[in-house]
Amino acid sequence: MSKKFKHIGVIPARAGSIGFPKKNQIFFDNTADFLKDLSWLDEVIVTSDDIVVLDKAKRKKYTSVLEITLVKSLFIIIMTIRNLFFLQN
């Protein structure tokens, strides 16, 4: 029995670079175009917490995954609890 392996390219593009702001938004197209030219690649997955990058990935029909860091998750939870508390009072 022969297995067919799937070749997957991953573009990790975390937002919030301090040294080079918006670098992922700037360089995403170069990387995406390079991977598109690889005929042996079956799928490209983009992981990011940057909405602009995820939108670009969607337009290129790549699989995109919203990446939420622990700090952002905690912030969202705290703000939700805070808002619920103020709604009750």
Per-residue pLDDT tens for 47-63?
Answer: 888 889 999 999 999 98
Region of residue 41 (phi > 0: left; psi between -120 and 50: alpha; otherwise: beta): beta
β-pair type (8-13, 43-48): parallel
In a domain, 3, yes or no: no
Percentage, residues of the chain above pLDDT 90: 28
Q: Which two tokens stand for residue 7?
A: 């070749």
Please give the residue range of the domain that contains residue 42. 8-88
Q: Name the band, by pLDDT with cuts 50, 70 and 90, for residue 89.
A: low
Arithmetic mean of pLDDT, 22-34: 90
Choose from 3-7, 13-17, 33-37 the range with maximum mean pLDDT. 33-37
Average pLDDT of the chain is: 83
In a domain, 37, yes or no: yes
Work out how many domains the chain is built from and give that number: 1
